[in-house]
């Protein structure tokens, strides 16, 4: 456990020494802020229009701003997560520092968990940027807190899943660009899988649909914690980290 934390904080710190952390957080803040601006503007305009026409429509900050926004945050994360994970192991392999880690009295799993947790911490910081915007809604409105928290839980699980996949891809190459690119396309594919089943209800289609990372996000963004979705994300994380540990071990045999 001590070793996991040691590596975790080292990774976390090295993100902030390099431009990666700042770039990822700034990009996320910018895009999320833009989404926030348009979503709130539309909501406010809709409110004015309804008032002027004298019709009363059901309005909800949760439904009309927060829910689509946080769904959108998941999509942005899809693009940013490869930037976070690509260097994790690939850089160590290129620098030769992997030799230090593998010849220190550590278990492989401690190295992997440490790296994944470090990436996770940065991801939490990235999500933290969105809290700035959401907090504004709480200052001037009265949205429901619980569904927001649930949506964040969903984002964290989804992110953890993609980060684990990224960590795995990063162990397979020395080249950060390759690691980033492959992670991006794998995440994109897992995202696109949900398209496959738009008008299809066969068993095969529902299996494909189940594998899509975004479909499991839907319940969370509605504010519903379904154990099915939690199990999906946790098992994806576990499976990817398991693959990572296999891949790390094969480094020794192939090196």
Partner 1 sequence: MIRVEGLTKRYARTVAVDNISFQVEKGQIVGFLGPNGAGKTTTMRVLTCFLPPTAGTANVAGFDVLENPIEVKRRIGYLPETPPLYPEMEVIEYLRFVGQLKGISSGDIGKRVDDVVERCAVGDVRTRLIGKLSKGYRQRVGLAQAIIHNPDVLILDEPTSGLDPKQIIEIRELLKSLAGEHTIILSTHILSEVEQSCEQVIIISQGKLVAIDSVANLTNRLRGSEAVALEVEAAGGSPNPTEVQQRLEQVSGVSRVMMKDSKNGRLTFEVESLQGRHIRADLARMVVTSGWNLSELRAVGLSLEDIFLQLTATEKKAEESKEPAAKQDEGAKK
Rounded (10°) angle between helices 108-140 and 145-171: 150
Q: Would you say the C-alpha torsion 34, 187, 170, 3 has a positive or negative sign?
A: positive
| Contact string (CB under 8 A) for partner 1, positions 32-61, x = contact | ------------------------------
- 140 lies in the binding site for partner 1 (CB under 8 A): no
CB count within 10 Å of CB 112 equals 25
CB of 94 to partner 1, least distance (A): 10
CB of 106 to partner 1, least distance (A): 7
Binding residue (CB under 8 A) for partner 1 from 45, 95, 206, 250: 95
Footprint of partner 1 on 13-32 (CB under 8 A): 14, 17-18
Question: Could you give the CA distance from residue 92 to residue 170 in angstroms, rounded to a whole number?
Answer: 10
- 107 lies in the binding site for partner 1 (CB under 8 A): yes
- Measuring CA to CA, which residue among 137, 145, 124 is closest to residue 73? 124
- 250 lies in the binding site for partner 1 (CB under 8 A): no
- 135 lies in the binding site for partner 1 (CB under 8 A): no
Beta strands in 103-250 (DSSP E): none
Q: Which CB sits closer to partner 1, 43 or 101?
A: 101
- Measuring CA to CA, which residue among 190, 132, 125, 120 is closest to residue 157? 120
Binding residue (CB under 8 A) for partner 1 from 96, 142, 198, 203: 96
Task: Choose one: 77-85, 102-110, 133-141, 172-180; the region binding partner 1 (CB under 8 A).
Answer: 102-110
Q: What angle do CA 107, 11, 106 make, to 5 degrees?
A: 15
- 100 lies in the binding site for partner 1 (CB under 8 A): yes
Q: Which CB sits closer to partner 1, 93 or 216?
A: 93
Measured in degrees and rounded to the nearest 5, phi and psi for residue 224 equal -110, 125
Given its phi and psi angles, is residue 54 left (phi above 0), alpha (psi -120 to 50 degrees) or beta?
Answer: left
Task: Choose one: 31-39, 64-72, 103-111, 205-213; the region binding partner 1 (CB under 8 A).
Answer: 103-111
Binding residue (CB under 8 A) for partner 1 from 10, 49, 146, 228: 10
Burial class of residue 200 (count of CB atoms within 10 Å of its CB; 0-12, 13-18, 19+): exposed
Task: Choose one: 10-18, 132-140, 170-178, 196-204; the region binding partner 1 (CB under 8 A).
Answer: 10-18
Contacts of 37 (CB under 8 A, 6+ apart): none
Task: Choose one: 36-44, 97-105, 130-138, 207-215; the region binding partner 1 (CB under 8 A).
Answer: 97-105
Q: Which residues bind partner 1 (CB under 8 A)?
A: 2-3, 6, 10, 14, 17-18, 95-107, 252-253, 255
């Amino acid at each position: 456990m001590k070793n996991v934390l040691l590596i975790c904080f080292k990774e976390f710190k090295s993100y902030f020494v390099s431009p990666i952390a700042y770039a990822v957080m700034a990009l996320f803040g910018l895009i999320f802020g833009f989404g926030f601006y348009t979503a709130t503007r539309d909501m406010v305009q809709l409110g004015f229009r309804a008032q002027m026409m004298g019709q009363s429509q059901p309005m909800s900050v949760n439904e009309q701003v927060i829910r689509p926004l946080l769904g959108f945050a998941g999509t942005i994360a899809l693009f940013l997560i490869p930037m976070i994970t690509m260097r994790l192991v690939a850089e160590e392999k290129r620098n030769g520092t992997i030799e230090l880690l593998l010849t220190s009295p550590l278990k492989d799993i401690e190295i992997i968990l440490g790296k994944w947790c470090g990436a996770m911490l940065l991801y939490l910081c990235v999500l933290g940027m969105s809290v700035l915007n959401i907090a504004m809604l709480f200052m001037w409105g009265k949205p429901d807190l619980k569904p927001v928290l649930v949506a964040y839980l969903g984002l964290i699980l989804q992110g953890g899943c993609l980060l684990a996949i990224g960590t795995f891809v990063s162990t397979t190459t020395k080249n950060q660009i390759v690691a980033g690119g492959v992670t991006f396309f794998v995440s994109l594919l897992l995202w696109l899988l949900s398209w496959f089943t738009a008008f299809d209800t066969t068993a095969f289609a529902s299996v494909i649909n189940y594998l899509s990372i975004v479909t499991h996000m839907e319940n969370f963004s509605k504010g519903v914690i379904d154990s099915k979705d939690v199990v999906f994300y946790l098992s994806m994380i576990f499976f990817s980290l398991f693959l990572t540990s296999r891949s790390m071990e094969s480094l020794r045999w192939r090196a």
